[in-house]
């Protein structure tokens, strides 16, 4: 541990000036929370100058302002490229105030000028209808971390510095946020960082002791435990503790100097002496009172340094004594010494801000779309699986994709802007070809028998979906590209993170100065239909349902039925911007349907009739057999073959859906088919037997506005699973060929009477299947060896 | 740290016997993974004796078997009540083998006898169709933790020991699992444990070094960091490391003796000397080779102690050399010395198991339904909000609920079987009355000004939804009751956990010897419509969508429109069993609609016509105005009032939905209305303007089979939010009274022509609203002060 020395690197004049900046930032923070007008208190404060509803979080704000100021000193003195990530919840008053003081806010939002009028706009908009939220958001200059839902600041920060050797992210972690699971494990990100080719994260644990209504765990363990914990996480903590501002400025200056010197030393050793051994990275633990510098008590009740300072310390301004207390509090920062008569920050204070893009709020990495360079994507046709005729060959879709991803990695390796991530599942998901051209990132201990671990690897694996997701988000938000694979059932672990990212994308799209970023791309594999071996706990196709609640413009769901369609889909996803793309595809050997030319055409439309499998040429079908997903497609085609055999006169149209959102109405989703197109595919009155990868009700939800919606009969996952065979999974959920045939017979008018023999054959076959599986533990050879013909 | 002494507490005979048990457990584990028949190798091993598909995870198994054996020694010698929680993924071969050896498996599954026939059944069923999964599951005796999705073993363990002072949970944490976020923060659970009135958890970190394809982080940091990390978490680690079985038996015996002595000492200090200061609880770190005792190499490739031992070390038994290697491996445990000629475990080995309920697999806490006692629930009528006429009074629903929960807590405090949980939101969610009768559980440092923290408190708050959920699941699974409140948007953080719990409930219901447990009850408040102040990141009503994908029997969703209906609903939930109940209700002052008598009647049906708000008496309505949720109910009634004023001849029927699943078809959900009842409520042909709390498509999904489904026009959350006013939130999403009226006018045939004046008035009012909000930052007084009349 580096003890905080009692050195005094700052002159008395420095300290005085630092206090002025800090006072200005604190003053503007409080003004944002409380004031609707009269921002500089040039009139006596009256109730009508205050907001009708007091919102915002003072508690963490003075600490954030303090840190921002001290980071600015480092930038000025050392010409560093630093990003500020505010982990504590609802810290926007401070971040916005600081970015205003350094001028960025006025550059991005020209109406918020550097004068009294601008200040009035600044304070009014905060937590005000049509204004800005109380936490760092896409509207906040310099932010890549939404401070609404907590837990992701540190993984975002590491994501930002991967492949950005000159960038340092100062990540403030709140002691509330630190209790979340995602944050608790993300400290280990230092084992995945290359001091040579990556930048650095300086974590700053902000111990102010309280959450909304409770003390925090980390503030109430012994100093020994606290230091031990962070050393165990692999950091070298520097403690800065106190409440006297002048002393604290000196301590923090020493701590910052120490931390940045340590970073420089580590990076120098790695970059000049090639010593990439994992170092103990510095971190700062800052312990200050909650709501530092607010009234000690309000109505006689403890406030500063207590949970009552978490949000709004003075709550009822209709009480004259509260209004007076607010007035006194605001005046304690002496605004008249901070802003000139125009309401412009005094030049000597303003001079504490770095210049141009060195300002943390103007750092281009925080508006990553500006830095984004398109990936070089190899031509997918060169990776095509040969398909001599539909369904003839078998292929492992994700393994084929792996070859293409390998070359995406290879083509872009020199740009260092593409990473592949998985929660310890990259090989299990059969993307291992990527490891032919790069390694797994790993900077913990290695042994000579280790397999493709390297400090500069570009495949990221940790058994934490949260950390993978956080890294990827940070990487994308700073202008790079990525691809994450995951077992389908367990992607729900990051439901809430994808929510927040989708919301970020939607909001950023509404902020004029934010440039589009690369999409968040998921490959969900080891999916529900091939989790027969792992059983019920591994079976859940509901992530699709989850993402479809997000704003239509932002989300896409693809269900490519084979390898070539998967290749086309993956390319589309890596080319797209500002989206969350979900691809679901299996990793097991499955029949291949489309040659590359057909795959390209099919994926371009996203949905289409498979003429080669249909026999309704030139006329109306008796039934539409629709399918979405690889296993449902196979079962549908097997059902068609059975129907062709038993009921050769039946006119069947086969439709395959790759882009699930084509089913939705055009008014609901940009990919939605026009009604007349939909009707031309699905008819307006014929039964549609739909074999779907996920929960059946999702299809009903998508098509409820369509003319023929009442004739849709959807087969999908009915939450029935067990440890069983692949085909038995479909049988248990009625997605199998036999149940599909039975449903065709049930719903095509007049067919039942003609289909007695077929019905009996099907029923017999289901019984035979069940007995065979129970006895031999595998599927009937005719099922395993089935091919379309 | 307690160093492992070099003592040898075991005699040579003990060690020999321990090895025999361990060999038997390992042998049966491998037999389960590989064998279909010939379980004791009494015939020469042939390919047809092996499974067609090799599944299961050997890697963690020998370690689990080793620990199980040593815990049994402690139980025998010290007469302890211990539960075994297997955190490592897919550890079932070991757990099942151990429970078979101690006889429990045969008692629960009588066909799996203690002889060769029983062994044949035991080995065949594993990972075989219709059999058992490869991870601990509801079918596993003694298990309360599903080992499929990782991360929850430790929070489950703490949940199990709360209020169970005589119980100790030995929780094995895998080093893969330890990388997950939920696990990483759950180590801090020790700050919430009372050594006097709670039991103890003995965490055992099982460092075997590898995940599926990667090393683990904790196995690749220095010993100093590792010890430092766990001391920082507040534990006193005892390290047991090695690969020589005989030595390891001695080391583990010393470690177990040390750990249990430490637990006894801590508990004695708390219970006899009243010293409840948070102690450093013991933990064990066991470092052994992955797949310990399997072949060192297979095909010349490193296997034991490497990731290749993670699942099935020998993979292709069609190769004669692989079959032979398996044969050699199995014979290395000398099965002929372990089982007698009948195939029954030798009596001297069997004697190592504890007796009766002291066997970990027969511990009644692991089948908590057996121990469950119903809660004493106060009569809700005594907590009723007076409602003189509908909509006249205001009330804060969750605050009213808080009073009742306070007395639920009070009535059951002596039974110590009820806990209230929240991620630092108990007071924010206005359930603070509960703190009048108990405190917040807290055993970290306290100060004299702290607010209602106590070591034996029954309100659990940590800023980790995962930990709250894990504690609650552990508490419920061991036979107790609980109630968890959470901000609606952030409950998605535990989407995946609720998935797994719902799956557990469904499967446990199919296991004859598992008794029903209390339901998992959620109150989701601070909901989407009143997150106007926190903004877009806090707005997501999609958890309902998520839970509705789970098995119908298991899930319920309630949307009580006011305080009295909330009270009735909460009582129903606390009385129910084997369910996941989701209640969504607001905390803000809102109009109260039903007196208690009406509320009871309404909730009993779950859905009903509100006659007092309807004017279609004795005839068909022109329009049905339906609502579900508190804010949608208010907006619907305000719309009805506007319609009554402007279009007094319009016949309106108002339907309120409390139990959302009544909308679903009876064939899909037990609460679903019969079609004829549904039709009698919603008509078969009239427009239904439905104001819904959540995403609108969910209603379409629920009603798609109903006759009148095409006439449903649903208003709900359209993923449009910002920092704004409460009413503006409804306007932005078209859920407000004005948009509802506009939609009535649009959809009632012939109404548009009569409604020109009304339409204009509505349009003007929307403009006025928008201007007012932008100027004053609050809603129009006529909106704020609106009352039904």
C-alpha span between A73 and A570 (Å, rounded) = 45
pLDDT per position as a tens digit, A452-488? 999 999 999 999 999 999 999 999 999 999 999 999 9
A232 closest CB neighbour out of B36, B51, B229: B229
Contact call for A229 and B229, based on CB within 8 A: yes
CB A595 within 8 A of CB A568: no
Q: Which 542-571 residues of chain B touch chain A by CB within 8 A?
A: 542, 545-546, 549-551
What residues of B are in contact with residue A146 (Cβ under 8 Å)? 537
Q: End-to-end CA distance of chain B, in Å?
A: 71
* CB of B356 less than 8 A from some CB of A: no
Structure tokens at B632: 């949608």
H helix or E strand, kind and range, residue B269: helix B245-272
Q: End-to-end CA distance of chain A, in Å?
A: 71
Q: Which 599-658 residues of chain A touch chain B by CB within 8 A?
A: none
User: Which are the contacts of A594, defined by CB distance < 8 A and separation ≥ 6?
Assistant: A387, A390, A561, A562, A564, A565, A602
C-alpha span between B604 and B613 (Å, rounded) = 20
- How high is the ipTM of this complex? 0.97
C-alpha span between A168 and A84 (Å, rounded) = 9
Whether pLDDT at A375 is above 80: yes
Query: How does the average pLDDT of chain A come out, rounded?
Result: 96
User: Which are the contacts of B83, defined by CB distance < 8 A and separation ≥ 6?
Assistant: B142, B144, B157, B160, B167, B168, B169, B170, B360, B363, B365, B366
C-alpha span between A713 and A692 (Å, rounded) = 10
Q: Of the candidates A406, A97, A248, which has an alpha carbon nearest to the alpha carbon of residue A84?
A: A97
Q: What angle (nearest 5°) sits at the alpha carbon of residue B258, between those of residues B255 and B261?
A: 145
Low-confidence ranges of chain B (pLDDT < 50): 1-5
DSSP assignment, residue A464? -
Q: Tell me the sheet residues that pair with A523.
A: A485, A583
Tell me, what's the pLDDT at B722? Answer: 85
Tell me, what's the pLDDT at A148? Answer: 84
User: Which are the contacts of A305, defined by CB distance < 8 A and separation ≥ 6?
Assistant: A209, A243, A289, A290, A291, A292, A296
Contact call for B503 and A446, based on CB within 8 A: no
* CB of B466 less than 8 A from some CB of A: yes
Domains, chain A, ranges and CATH?
A: 18-358 (3.40.50.970), 380-590 (3.40.50.970), 607-785 (3.40.50.920)
Residue with tokens 């902020």: A511
* Residues A28, A34, A35, A41, CA torsion sign: negative
Structure tokens at B401: 């609920």
φ, ψ at B654 (rounded to 5°): -105, 125
Residue of chain A whose alpha carbon sits nearest to that of B213: A424
CB pairs under 8 A between A and B: 363
B533 closest CB neighbour out of A127, A191, A216: A127
Contact call for B52 and A461, based on CB within 8 A: no
CB A131 within 8 A of CB A123: no
Burial letters B739-773, b for 16+ CB under 10 A, else e: bbbbbbbebbeebeeebeebbeebeebeeebeebb
Residue with tokens 């206090």: A19
What residues of A are in contact with residue B193 (Cβ under 8 Å)? none
H helix or E strand, kind and range, residue B89: none
C-alpha span between A51 and B119 (Å, rounded) = 75
Identify from B665, B723, B771, B772 which residue to disrupt to test chain A contact, counting A C-beta atoms within 10 A and taking the largest count.
B723
Whether pLDDT at A713 is above 70: yes
In DSSP notation, B169-226 reads EEEEEETTGGGSHHHHHHGGGGGG--TTTS-EEEEEEEE--B-SSSB-TGGGS-HHHH
What residues of B are in contact with residue A709 (Cβ under 8 Å)? 704, 710
What residues of A are in contact with residue B231 (Cβ under 8 Å)? 224-225, 228-229, 232
Cα separations in angstroms, B633 against B265, B541, B713: 58, 16, 15
Q: Across residues A774-783, what is the average pLDDT?
A: 94
Whether pLDDT at A512 is above 60: yes
Contact call for A130 and B227, based on CB within 8 A: no
Contact call for A181 and B214, based on CB within 8 A: no
Whether pLDDT at A5 is above 80: no
* CB of B770 less than 8 A from some CB of A: no
Contact call for B723 and A132, based on CB within 8 A: yes
Tell me, what's the pLDDT at A6? Answer: 63
Q: Across residues A183-204, what is the average pLDDT?
A: 98
What residues of B are in contact with residue A183 (Cβ under 8 Å)? 181, 185
Contact call for A222 and B538, based on CB within 8 A: no
What residues of B are in contact with residue A493 (Cβ under 8 Å)? 149, 495-496
Contact call for A213 and B182, based on CB within 8 A: no
In angstroms, what separates the C-alpha of A734 from chain B's closest C-alpha? 15
């Amino acid at each position: 541990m580096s003890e905080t020395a009692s050195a005094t690197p700052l002159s008395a004049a420095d300290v005085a000036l630092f206090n002025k900046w800090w006072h200005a930032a604190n003053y503007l923070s409080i003004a944002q929370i409380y004031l609707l007008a009269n921002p500089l208190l040039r009139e006596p404060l009256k109730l009508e100058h205050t907001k009708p509803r007091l919102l915002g979080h003072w508690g963490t704000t003075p600490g954030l302002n303090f840190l921002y100021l001290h980071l600015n000193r480092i930038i000025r003195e050392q010409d560093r490229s630093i990003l500020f990530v505010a982990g504590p919840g609802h810290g926007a008053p401070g971040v916005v105030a600081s970015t205003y003081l350094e001028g960025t806010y006025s550059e991005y939002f020209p109406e918020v000028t550097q004068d009294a009028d601008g200040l009035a706009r600044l304070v009014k908009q905060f937590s005000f209808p049509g204004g800005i939220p109380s936490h760092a958001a896409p509207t906040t200059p310099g932010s890549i971390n939404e401070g609404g839902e907590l837990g992701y600041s540190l993984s975002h920060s590491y994501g930002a510095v991967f492949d950005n050797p000159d960038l340092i992210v100062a990540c403030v972690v709140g002691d509330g946020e630190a209790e979340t699971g995602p944050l608790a494990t993300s400290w280990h990100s230092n084992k995945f960082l290359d001091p040579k080719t990556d930048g650095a994260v300086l974590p700053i644990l902000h111990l102010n002791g309280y959450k909304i209504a409770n003390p925090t765990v980390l503030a109430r363990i012994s100093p020994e435990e606290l230091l031990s914990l962070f050393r165990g996480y692999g950091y070298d903590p520097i403690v800065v503790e106190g409440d006297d501002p002048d002393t604290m400025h000196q301590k923090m200056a020493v701590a910052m100097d120490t931390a940045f010197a340590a970073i420089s030393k580590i990076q120098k050793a790695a970059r000049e002496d090639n010593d990439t051994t994992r170092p103990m990275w510095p971190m700062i633990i800052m312990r200050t009172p909650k709501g530092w510098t607010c009234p000690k008590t309000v109505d006689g009740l403890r406030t500063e340094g207590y949970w009552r300072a978490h949000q709004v310390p003075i709550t009822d301004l209709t009480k004259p004594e509260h209004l007076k207390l607010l007035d006194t509090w605001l005046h304690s920062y002496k605004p008249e010494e901070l802003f000139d008569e125009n309401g412009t920050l005094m030049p000597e204070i303003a001079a504490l801000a770095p210049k141009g893009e060195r300002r943390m709020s103007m750092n281009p990495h925080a508006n990553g779309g500006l830095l984004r360079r398109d990936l070089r994507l190899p031509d997918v046709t060169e990776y095509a699986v040969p398909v001599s005729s539909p369904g003839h060959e078998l292929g492992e879709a994700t393994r084929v994709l792996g070859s293409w991803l390998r070359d995406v990695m290879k083509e872009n390796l020199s740009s260092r802007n593409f990473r592949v991530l998985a929660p310890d599942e990259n090989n299990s998901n059969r993307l291992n070809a990527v490891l032919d051209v790069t390694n797994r990132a790993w900077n913990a201990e290695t042994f000579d028998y280790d397999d493709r671990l390297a400090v500069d690897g570009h495949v990221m694996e940790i058994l934490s979906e949260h950390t993978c997701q956080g890294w990827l988000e940070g990487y994308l938000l700073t202008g790079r590209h990525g691809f994450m694979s995951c077992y389908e059932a367990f992607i729900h672990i990051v439901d809430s993170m994808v929510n927040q990212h989708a919301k970020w994308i939607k909001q950023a799209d509404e902020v004029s100065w934010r440039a589009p970023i690369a999409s968040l791309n998921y490959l969900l594999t080891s999916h529900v239909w091939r989790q027969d071996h792992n059983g019920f706990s591994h079976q859940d196709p509901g992530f699709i349902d989850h993402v479809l609640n997000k704003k239509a413009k932002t989300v896409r769901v693809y269900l490519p039925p084979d390898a070539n369609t998967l290749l086309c889909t993956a390319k589309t996803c890596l080319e797209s911007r500002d989206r969350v793309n979900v691809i679901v595809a299996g990793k097991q050997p499955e029949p291949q349907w489309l040659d590359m030319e057909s795959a390209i055409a099919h994926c371009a439309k996203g949905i289409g009739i498979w003429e080669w499998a249909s026999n309704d040429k030139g006329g109306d079908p008796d039934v539409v057999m629709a399918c979405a997903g690889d296993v449902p497609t196979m079962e549908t085609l097997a059902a068609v073959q059975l129907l062709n055999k038993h009921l050769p006169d039946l006119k069947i149209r086969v439709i395959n859906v790759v882009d699930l959102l084509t089913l939705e109405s055009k008014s609901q989703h940009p990919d939605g088919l026009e009604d007349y197109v939909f009707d031309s595919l699905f008819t307006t009155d014929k039964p549609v037997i739909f074999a779907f990868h996920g929960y059946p009700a999702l299809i009903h939800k998508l098509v409820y506005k369509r003319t023929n919606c009442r004739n849709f009969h959807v087969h999908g996952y009915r939450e029935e699973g067990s440890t069983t065979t692949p085909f038995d999974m479909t049988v248990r959920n009625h997605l199998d060929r036999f149940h599909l045939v039975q449903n065709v017979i049930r719903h095509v008018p007049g067919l039942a009477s003609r289909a007695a023999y077929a019905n009996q054959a099907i029923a017999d076959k289901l019984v035979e299947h069940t007995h065979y599986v129970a006895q031999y533990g595998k599927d009937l050879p005719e099922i395993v060896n089935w091919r379309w013909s």
